[in-house]
Structure 1
Amino acid sequence: MNFELKTLSLAQAAATACDALVLLWPDQPVVAKGDPLAELARREAAGAHWEGGVAKLWLSQGHPACKAARLVMVRAGDGSPASVRRAVAAALGALKSPAVKKVVLSLAVLAPVPGVLRAAMTAAADATYAYTATKSKPTPRALQTLLLGVADAAAVRADHAQGAALVKGIELAKEWANRPGNHATPSMLADVARKLGKSPRIQTEVLGPREVAKLGMGAFMAVAQGSEEPLRFIVMRYQGAAKTDAPVVLVGKGITFDTGGISLKPAPEMDEMKFDMGGAASVLGLFAALAEAQPKVNVVGLIPTCENMPDGRAIKPGDVVTSMSGQTIEILNTDAEGRLILCDALTYAQRFKPRAVIDIATLTGACVIALGGVRSGLFATDDALAQALATAGEEAQDPCWRMPLDDEYAEGLKTNFADMANVAGRQAGAVTAAKFLQKFVGDAPWAHLDIAGTAWKSGAAKGATGRPVGLLFSYLTQVAAAPVPAARKAPRKPATPRAGA
């Protein structure tokens, strides 16, 4: 979709020929009296025809007050980013028609609030998104142009550029998470990363089974060994700041399909395990957004990606594997595989001497039970990092909620046969999974985002959400604007076990 930005008064928006004019009408509009469209909105708002509340609609097939073929007025409440997001989603959801190709979205009567334009753009993209990759007769997005009419285009041009970059990133994340497992293999994800590596300031390196074995990533290799599809370890670098600036390292779980392995999942809804690479998709989407926005920050993206299959060579409950860190792991449940591929990537992350490490993973059903599909689970070893991510999530309308990391939760990971087990029972499953990962993070500030409840929707609305690209993008723009921290000392080099141990 093409997002055009233009200074348009309400009268100018009304005089613009288009397929539909959408007017966002807040509780306290900023508009001069006497404007015909404003007077219409005031009359309807005062009457019984336009019911109160955010996202309530008033629709007309043409109206003397404007040149548009359709007029949609929608209540925008307090005019905050959250209210605007709901209002735009409702309005464009009501305009889904092949005939609606150009829409003017008027924000001219809204008070200037940071983030409103970005919220409007992401909501519009989400409401009109159409998946087409594996359909024989695809129906692409009808809406081609969204003209954003604002009171002062120059004042929000930076927000517009960031919004366009964010939309591109979210849609790439959605596209690859939505694809079925046979159309989104580890090798295919690597190809996407290579293509992004041709963008300015981005470099991509892809490691295969031989290189991963040489690194001693025994936990990652163990998960992949039951699949015919070869694993890939994707390393992406975005350099937007000085080479001496420590990077933020993002680690995305990339299980392109998860059967559960020998600990086989039940058949109902197993198709949704194609979404188990939602963390990897979010890292790819984030790099697409970075390529567009070009913020002054250094970022490393690590994506361990493979399938989890129940082949005759697959790992078995009770097997013990050696991670890249040298720590041994007893695999009590092969369906707790995400933490096994992440732990080796987290060890690898230490070589970049990062200012922060954030892993993103559809990790536990327990997090879905705890938080549902509204907020992602946030675990962090550093209060400042946790607060920054929480603030970024609220700003991006992509919220998270901090969960505990008390040492006592790690007790259940103890075992007689290895340094740790990969599961710790049913209680506090999301927390014990995070405690497992914490054993591999080194001394850098670390956060873990469990997106099992937020990466996709089930039922009639089944599909990827693109979360948490918005949260991560907002966080990185915060980092780009912050003072550069003092350089960290290099961590002690971890012991490297024999390949395939």
Structure 2
Amino acid sequence: MDFELKTLDLAGASSEKTDVLLVLVPEGFQAGKDPVSRLAAAALQAKDLEPKPGKLLHAYRPEGIAASRVIFAGAGDGSGRRVHAAVQAATSALRSSTAKKLTIVLPPESGDDAVRAAVCGTAESSYVYVATKSKPEARELKKVVVGVADAGARKQAFARAKAAAIGIEFARELGNLPPNYATPTRLGEEATKLAKSHGLQVEVFGPKEVARIGMGAFLGVAKGSAEPLRFITLRYEGAGKGQAPVVLVGKGITFDTGGISIKPSAEMDEMKYDMGGAASVLGTFRALAELKPRINVIGLIPSCENMPDGASYKPGDILTSLSGQTIEVLNTDAEGRLILCDALTYAERFKPRAVIDIATLTGACVVALGGVRSGLFATDDELAQQLMAAGDAALDPCWRLPLDDEYAEGLKTNFADVANVAGRAAGAVVAAKFLHRFTQNYPWAHLDIAGTAWKGGAAKGSTGRPVGLLLEYLMAQEGAGSGAAAKAAPAGKTKPKSAKGRSRAAA
């Protein structure tokens, strides 16, 4: 979809040649003398139109207006959140139409948040999955013009919004692919293709390389599948080599049966979304390639299937992680933390300024926060605050949960350094405490996206979250490139070996 930013007021919109003119009407709407303003004012006075978000009024070929269709949408206080709701309601109504060009006119006082909301809201609501359909539904809408009072003042926000929309759609498409398509091998191929076409660096390791490195926890999970694992390293280098990178680690379980601790069959098809963390990392790199900020970012994706097989790891097995810590497997459906712990140890070699892992990790987080906010855990208050602010700005919110040491008591075992599960209570926190053991040498945050990475029911599909949050956070780091936050974390005591070469109860 082609987006264009344009200086456009309601007077100019009256003569705009477009299939659909979408006019956002805020509270306190001030009408001018042009045909669009007069029509909106008359509708408001007759109470046929309300400025509440989501309220719509359609007009067909109104007199004095060039557009064949006009939609007035209530925009509330005009904030990004309200604009997002208004645009999504209006563009959703256009999915069955033949409109190819849409012009959105934002209220004159709209800020950067409204511009981002208009672009991303339109892209999200007009997305159509077609990859595996024999007669795919065409996406008729080809061009979207966003009209603002001063296009020059909103140019930067518009560029960031376009990049976010591209990255979110990239992640959604990967997440929606069926598990026999989106295998670990396919994720490696997508990362390689992305790197080659956008000037990134990539390494893709298979089972032999991962065994040589010493990732015993990751290997243990992958043993039960005929699909070979992949460990993907992406590098975006927009700053000098002296600047410490941010490392993003994405869980890439391309299908999760639960392994020997098998899941219930109901809704197990949704476990193709257990690679939502991996998809979000790839989507974020796709967006970075558009914006080219002056920062360094590393992406790490451990990817495999979790399958029941004669070779599968079992409850009671002891795995030795890359860090050297031993792990007793009490539940094979707590596999995500096992592949992540090795990737988090591997991240140390990059001397990162911060490490953020993203994972559809626990059904407990869905119980705690539902599908509105992702769960956030962090060892560093500044990092947590930056991620929360980024989520709010991107309309991709998260909520911080605790990391008290007492939550790790249940992970104690007589047979290894740590068990991979504890009891039912505070399951999302306990999972985070498990990962915390492997992140002692750098500032770390964990995003549990089990409730936000996809939707079920009639709206079933990947959301692309939290690409918006991650991109907003990374772009904010560009200005901090020469500051203290950019310095590498101190080297840890444990040095990894060098390499040569859900049902919603997801865990």
Query: TM-score band (shorter)?
Result: over 0.9
Q: Which residue of 2 aligns with 1:489?
A: 490
Alpha-carbon displacement from aligned partner over 1:449-478 (angstroms, at most 9, x marks no partner): 000000000000000000000000000011
User: CA separation of 1:497/1:412 partners in 2, compared to 1, >3 Å: closer, same or farther?
Assistant: farther
Pairing of 1:295-444 with structure 2 (within 5 A): 295-444=293-442
AA in 1 matched with 2:483? V
Q: Which residue of 2 aligns with 1:79?
A: 78
Q: Which residue of 2 aligns with 1:48?
A: 47
SS in 2 for 1:148: strand
Alpha-carbon displacement from aligned partner over 1:469-488 (angstroms, at most 9, x marks no partner): 00000000111122432343
Q: Which residue of 1 aligns with 2:249?
A: 251
Matched, 1:15 2:15: yes
- Output the CA distance in 1 between the equivalents of 2:149 and 2:342: 51
Query: Offset at 1:51?
Result: 3.4
Q: Which residue of 2 aligns with 1:453?
A: 451
What is the count of residue pairs matched by the alignment? 496
Q: Which residue of 2 aligns with 1:266?
A: 264
The answer to whether the 8 Å contact 2:13/2:36 transfers is no
SS in 1 for 2:319: strand
The answer to whether the 8 Å contact 2:118/2:146 transfers is no
SS in 2 for 1:85: helix
Q: Which residue of 1 aligns with 2:151?
A: 153
Q: Which runs of 5+ in 2 are unaligned?
A: 500-507
Root-mean-square deviation over aligned CA pairs: 1.4
AA in 2 matched with 1:477? M
Q: Which residue of 2 aligns with 1:26?
A: 26
Alpha-carbon displacement from aligned partner over 1:295-329 (angstroms, at most 9, x marks no partner): 11110000000000001100010000100000000
Q: Which residue of 2 aligns with 1:178?
A: 176
Q: Which residue of 1 aligns with 2:61?
A: 62
The answer to whether the 8 Å contact 1:16/1:67 transfers is yes
TM-score computed with the length of structure 1 as normaliser: 0.97
The answer to whether the 8 Å contact 1:222/1:321 transfers is yes
Query: Offset at 1:201?
Result: 4.5
The answer to whether the 8 Å contact 1:245/1:484 transfers is no
SS in 2 for 1:170: helix
Pairing of 1:470-481 with structure 2 (within 5 A): 470-481=468-479
Q: Which residue of 1 aligns with 2:102?
A: 103
The answer to whether the 8 Å contact 2:245/2:298 transfers is yes
User: CA separation of 1:497/1:190 partners in 2, compared to 1, >3 Å: closer, same or farther?
Assistant: closer
- Output the CA distance in 1 between the equivalents of 2:398 and 2:457: 23
Alpha-carbon displacement from aligned partner over 1:44-101 (angstroms, at most 9, x marks no partner): 1232211342121011122113111111000111111000000100111111234111
TM-score computed with the length of structure 2 as normaliser: 0.96
Q: Which residue of 1 aligns with 2:505?
A: none
- Output the CA distance in 2 between the equivalents of 1:426 and 1:188: 35
AA in 1 matched with 2:250? G
Query: Offset at 1:160?
Result: 1.3
SS in 2 for 1:182: coil
The answer to whether the 8 Å contact 1:253/1:305 transfers is yes
- Output the CA distance in 2 between the equivalents of 1:64 and 1:98: 21
AA in 2 matched with 1:134? T
Q: Which residue of 1 aligns with 2:502?
A: none
AA in 2 matched with 1:70? R
Bigger Cα displacement from structure 2, 294-303 vs 112-121? 112-121
SS in 1 for 2:180: helix
The answer to whether the 8 Å contact 1:371/1:377 transfers is yes
- Output the CA distance in 1 between the equivalents of 2:108 and 2:64: 20
- Output the CA distance in 2 between the equivalents of 1:28 and 1:346: 51
SS in 2 for 1:183: coil
Alpha-carbon displacement from aligned partner over 1:307-361 (angstroms, at most 9, x marks no partner): 0000110001000010000000000000000000000000000111100000000
- Output the CA distance in 1 between the equivalents of 2:22 and 2:50: 17
Query: Offset at 1:159?
Result: 1.2
- Output the CA distance in 2 between the equivalents of 1:33 and 1:212: 66
The answer to whether the 8 Å contact 1:240/1:298 transfers is yes
The answer to whether the 8 Å contact 2:254/2:304 transfers is yes
